[in-house]
Homo-oligomer: A and B are copies of this chain.
Amino acid sequence: MGVNIKMLAERLQLSISTVSRALRDSYEISETTKNRVRDMALELNYQANPYASSLRKHRSKTVAVVIPEITNNFFSLAINGIEYVAQEKNYHVLIYLTHENVQKEIGFANHLQSGRVDGVLMSLSAETNNYDHLINLKNKGVPIVLFDRICEAIESSIITTDDFESGFAATEHLIESGCERIAYLDLSRYLSISNKRMQGYLEALKKHNIPADEGLIIRFTNNNAANEEIITQMLSGPNRPDGIFASVEKLAISCYNVCERLQIKIPEQLKIIGFSNMEFSSLLNPSLSTITQPAYEIGKQAALQLFRYLEKKSMADVHERIILKSTLIPRGSTGF
């Protein structure tokens, strides 16, 4: 079907090996024949079969991105950063969505032992609390870089934001805005980010002598409708919180929806701050106070770190732990 190296060789009256070397600009080939080959390749629009190359070279020029979801500004931005680097390096990007399902994550990880990719960029699902699939993958020699939702079970580079400090700052911001009963909302008890942010939350409460209340730490699922039901319960019961710290974007949005339905006024009756990467948090009604993560940069740094592995022939594992700062932006939802 397509034009291959053999056709080029025949047309040029050269051997296959010479053509191959010419295309890779080998020093063993004279400048004149190199040009002949290049011209002919251009004329026939020759594209080397990547599968034959990969099979022979044991390199795929491909990386996999395994993430929980894509309809999420954080991950879209991260992919954007990853893809930017990949294009620079002439690499290809495969994406796999786990939809927060650990079984899918395991399936992907197992499959990726096949040699399909040279490396993996990954952010764990909310269900993941066992890391054998990652360990196996790494043991097969596939470099892994974790970003955002990480784990400590494997030795690898790790790119995150300063989750503890951000959690602390967000909570303190609510306290300084006058809140006394602050709820902490998150997705999973397994996620690294959830725990770090919660640590920050607890630490801030402690600093300001506010007793921590187990009932105010609430876990949600991946189902928006169910989540809003839980929030409705929380906000319509007695002794409801006067401040909410949502550790993921979608939970803050759900709070807005519920407050609108329950006629609860933000920020007068309830103050809200949330992690978010929406570019128009400022246009919400009221504008949403946020912790904004450097999502694009996180993706970019993760990819750069992966390529550092790939380009290093010595698998001398230099495991970096890169922490990029988030920024707190006070807005209307906390009374600013």
Interface residues of A (CB under 8 A from B): 1-2, 45, 47-52, 54-55, 58, 60, 62, 69-73, 76-77, 79-80, 83, 87, 92-97, 104, 110-111, 113-116, 136, 140-141, 253, 256-257, 260, 278-280, 283-287
Are A71's CB and B60's CB within 8 A?
no
- Cα A134 to Cα B95 in complex, Å, equals 24
Instruction: Count identical subunits in the complex.
Output: 2
Taking CB atoms, residues of chain B closer than 8 Å to A256 are 280, 283
Are B73's CB and A77's CB within 8 A?
no
Taking CB atoms, residues of chain B closer than 8 Å to A60 are 51
Known A-B contacts A1-B140, A283-B285; A55 and B51 likewise in contact (beta carbons under 8 Å): yes
Taking CB atoms, residues of chain B closer than 8 Å to A279 are 253
Contact of A285 among B83, B141, B285 (CB under 8 A): B285
Are B113's CB and A95's CB within 8 A?
no
Q: Which residue of the partner chain B has the closest CB to A259? A: B283
Interface secondary structure of A, over-half rule: mixed
Closest 10 CB pairs of A and B: A285-B285, A47-B114, A51-B54, A51-B55, A51-B51, A71-B76, A50-B116, A283-B284, A256-B283, A47-B113
- Cα A87 to Cα B60 in complex, Å, equals 21
Shortest Cβ distance from A224 into chain B, in angstroms? 9
Are B283's CB and A253's CB within 8 A?
yes
Contact of A83 among B92, B95, B284 (CB under 8 A): B95
Are A97's CB and B115's CB within 8 A?
no
Are B253's CB and A45's CB within 8 A?
no
Q: Which residue of the partner chain B has the closest CB to A136? A: B45
- Cα A318 to Cα B278 in complex, Å, equals 41
Are B55's CB and A49's CB within 8 A?
yes
Shortest Cβ distance from A156 into chain B, in angstroms? 18
Contact of A70 among B1, B79, B92, B285 (CB under 8 A): B79
Are A114's CB and B73's CB within 8 A?
no
- Cα A285 to Cα B285 in complex, Å, equals 5
Q: Which residue of the partner chain B has the closest CB to A1? A: B141
Shortest Cβ distance from A274 into chain B, in angstroms? 12
Are A2's CB and B71's CB within 8 A?
no
- Cα A83 to Cα B116 in complex, Å, equals 18
Are A94's CB and B93's CB within 8 A?
yes
- Cα A260 to Cα B331 in complex, Å, equals 14
- Cα A49 to Cα B278 in complex, Å, equals 40
- Cα A58 to Cα B51 in complex, Å, equals 9
Taking CB atoms, residues of chain B closer than 8 Å to A260 are 283
Taking CB atoms, residues of chain B closer than 8 Å to A94 are 62, 92-94
- Cα A81 to Cα B14 in complex, Å, equals 48
Q: Which residue of the partner chain B has the closest CB to A60? A: B51
- Cα A94 to Cα B55 in complex, Å, equals 19
Contact of A111 among B47, B83, B113 (CB under 8 A): B47
Taking CB atoms, residues of chain B closer than 8 Å to A285 are 283-287
- Cα A279 to Cα B252 in complex, Å, equals 13
